[in-house]
Structure 1
Amino acid sequence: MLEGWICGSWDWYRDPSGPVEVAELRSLLQLCQRLVLVPGDDKVVWGLESSGVFSVRSLRSHLVKNSYSQPEYVFDWNNLIPKKVGFVAWRAVLGRLPTFDALAKRNIPVRSTLCPICGEAEETVEHVFVSCGMAQTMWTLVAQWCKMPDPSSDLVIPQVNASCKPEKGMVFESVDHAYDFYCEYAKKAGFCVRKGGSYMNEGLLKSKYFTCSKEGHKPANSYDSMAEKGHNHEMVHANDMHFVRSNRKLTHVQQDIIYEMSTLNLGPVKAFNIYEDKYDAEMVAQRISGKKNCCDGYSFEYTVNTNGELDRLFWADNISKKNYLAFGDIISFDATFKTNLFRYNMVFVQFTAIYNHCRNVIVGVALLLSESIWLLKVFLDSFGIAPKVVVTDQDPAIKQAISLALPNSRHRLCMWHIMKKLADKNVL
C-alpha cells in the first residue's frame, strides 16, 4: 500500500483532494506501517485474550474495568422460584414490562394509559404490582394463604422528640457518630439496635444499615427499618431499657469503681454486691417514682439520711386503697420481717387487713431503717381515714407511735405473737 502510494501506481476512483483527505490518508499510512505481514490466510484475533479467542468473561471484565458508572440496583436472583417469575421480576425492576405507560413513552399508539382494571391511575409497573386495588387484594389473599401477619396493621410509631428522630438528609461526621445517634433514638423509642450490612465500592463505604434487632435479615422486605419508622412489636419500657443488649455497657464512672475494687483484691461477686448496695436503692426509688407519675392514686414516700442513704420507704397502689376502704376497719401492723437486716439494716413492714373470706389482703408496704412515727403519719396521709383497730406486736415504741399518730384508733396486741412468746418462755 505504501509502495503503491509512493510510486503513484494506485488505481484511484478519485484522487485525494483537499487537506482533510490528505491528512486522513497520511494517518492511514502510518497505521499501515505498523502492520507485519506474514504468509498464510487472514484470521480474526480477539485482543483481550491471550489465546485470541473471544470470551464473554474478558469482554465483561473490560467493560467493568473501564466503566465509570455503577448500577443503582443489582438484582438478586433467587434460584428457588421458577425462572419465568424471576425474569418478570427482573424486567419489572428495570422498567421493561410493556405497560401502557411504557408503550406510550416509546411512541407506540395506545388507546389510554389508564389502568384497565381500576381506571384511577396510569398503568405503570409500580401501579400494576403495588398501588392498584386489585394488586393489593391479591397480595392480601396471598399473605393470608401463607399465614403471614399483615405488616401494615398495628404498627407502633415511637413517640419521641423531633430532634431525636433520624431524617433523610442528615449528615454525620462518621459512621460511629451516626450509630450513636441512632442508638440514642432507639433508647428513647424503646427498642434495641443491631448493625446491618454495608456496601463498599473501590474501598470506600457507600452505605451502612442500622436496624431494629427484630427487623430480620432482609431490609428490602422489612417493616421494622429506619425508613419505615414503624415497629410491629411492643416497645421496651423506659425503666427496662438498661436490660437490652445495646445498652449493656458500663459508664466510665462504673468502670472506675470496679477497677478500684479490683485493686483491693475484691472478686467480681463481691464487687457486684458492693456496687449493687450502692445503687439499688436509687434504682428502686426511681422505678416507684415513675409508677407514681403514671398511675392514678399511687402513693409513694421516702426519706434519706444525712449520708444520702435510704432510711424510710412507703408505697401503696390504687388497688390497696380500694381494699382498705372496704376492709380497713381492722389492720395488722407487722414489723417483724428482718430477713434483710444483715445486708441493708432495714425492716420490712406490711399493713394487712382481712376481707370477707377471712383471707389476708395487703393494703400498704414499707421499708424502715428504724421504727418511727413517720410511717404511721404517711399511712394516714395516703389513705385519709384512720383504722378503728390496729393490731401489732408488743413493743413500747410502736405503742407510743400509735397513740401519737392514730389517737382515735384502738391498739390491740396480736394473739399469735403472745402465744409464740409464751411457748418460747415455757410458760405453757
Structure 2
Amino acid sequence: MKIAIVGAGYVGLVTGAGLADFGHQVTAIDVDADRIAALQQGVVPIFEPGLDELLSRNMAAGRLVFTTSFGAAIAEADVVFLAVGTPSRRGDGHADLSYVYDATRKVAEHLDGFTVVATKSTVPVGTGDEVERILAEHRPDADVLVVSNPEFLREGAAIEDFKRPDRIVVGIEDERARAVMTEVYRPLYLNQAPLLFTNRRTAELTKYAANAFLAMKVSFINEMAELCERAGADVQEVARGIGLDRRIGSKFLHAGPGYGGSCFPKDTLALVRTAADHDVSLSLVEATIAANARQRFLMVDKIVGACGGDVSGKTIGLLGLTFKPNTDDIRDAPAIDIATMLMERGARVVAYDPQGMAAAALVVPGVVMAEHAYAPADNADALVLVTEWNEFRSLDLARVAGVMRHPVFVDLRNVYRREEMQRAGLRYMSVGRPDAEEPRP
C-alpha cells in the first residue's frame, strides 16, 4: 500500500518506519525543512533505541522517503496518517488541535481518489467529526473516510510496541475503512495482535482512558509510598502483593517522583477538560493530577531533609534528567522540576543524563551539566537518583562515597538496597521503604 504520514516527529517516525518495515511504501511529510533535510541525510532528531537502524534500512530499500511537499504523496496515498503534535493549549489545558486542523486542510488540497485519513495524534473525543467536516468543506468532491487509529507507544520501547502491540484500536464510521485498515496491519496477523474496531469516538476516548488509568496507578502507588514511610511498611512489597493479583497487574506500580513525558500530563489534563465540556466530573483523574504534582514537592522535601533541612549553598548531584530511561525527552520530567526547586532553595545542582542534557540545558540553564555518571557526586552534599538509566543501576558505590563531601544518597527510583549502600559508607534514603534513618512514629 502507499501510505503518507503527516508529521515526522516521534509518533510519525516510529509509525512510518514500522509501516515501511512491513513492506508498505511510506512517505513522511513535515513542514520543518531542516528536520526533513536532516532525515534525508540519515540524521534522526530524537533518541529512540533501534529507530536509526530501522529508518536507514527502509530508506536504503526505497520504502521510506521524507519530503516537505504534500502534493504527490497525498494524491497517491491509500491511507494518510495524521501524526502531528497536540500539546496542551496554553491557558486552559485543552488539547491544542490547530496542528491537526492545519494538516487536514493541507491534505484536503491534494486528495485524489478513494483515501482513508487516519488520525494517529492523540485527540479529544469528537475531533474526527471536525476533521471530516474540514475535509468536506474544502473538498466536497473527495471520496475520503476519516478513522481514528490512536498510538500506544512507550518511549524507549516504541519499536517493540509497534511491531508487537497489545492491541490496535481503529475507530470507523464506514465499513469500507475496515478493509483498508485491516490491510495496513495485515503483516501483524502472525503476531496475533488484536485488531479492535469500534466507532470513531470510542477509539478517540480509549486512548485518553488508557493513559489516565495508567497515570492513576502511578499516583496511587506514590500515595501508598508516603503511607508506607510513615507506617514502617515497604511499598515495593505492597506493590508486589497487589500486582500479583491478575485483576490489578504489576505494571506502573513503581513508587518514585511521579509520571512525566509527552503523554500522561497533557492527556490527563485534556481528558478532565473534555469531561467538563460534557458536564462530567472526573474526580479520580483530577486527584491523579493533583497527587502527581504534589509528589515532586515531596521528593524535594525528602532531598532537603536528607541534607539536614537546608540546601542553601550546598551541592546536589542529580542522576537523570529525562522523564524515563531510553529517551531524550525531558517534557514534564520530574527531574526538571526537582532541579528548579532545589536551585530556588539555594542549592547548586550538578546533573548527568546519557541523552537529555542538551535539551535540559535550555530549560534549566542554572544546572551544571556533568561529563559522566560519577561527576555529580564530586564534592556533593547529596547524590539523587532521579531517572533509572541502566548505567545508574550498578554504580561503584565506594567510588561514589569517596568523592562526596557528605555521603548521602537519595534513591527516588528504589534501585538500590540499604545494605549495599551502608557497606559503601553511604547514608541511604529511598521512597516508601523503611530505610530512612529517622525513627518511626
User: Which category describes the TM-score, using the shorter chain as reference length?
Assistant: under 0.3
TM-score, normalised relative to structure 2: 0.18
Higher relative contact order (CA 8 A, sep 6+): 2
Give TM-score, length-normalised by structure 1: 0.19
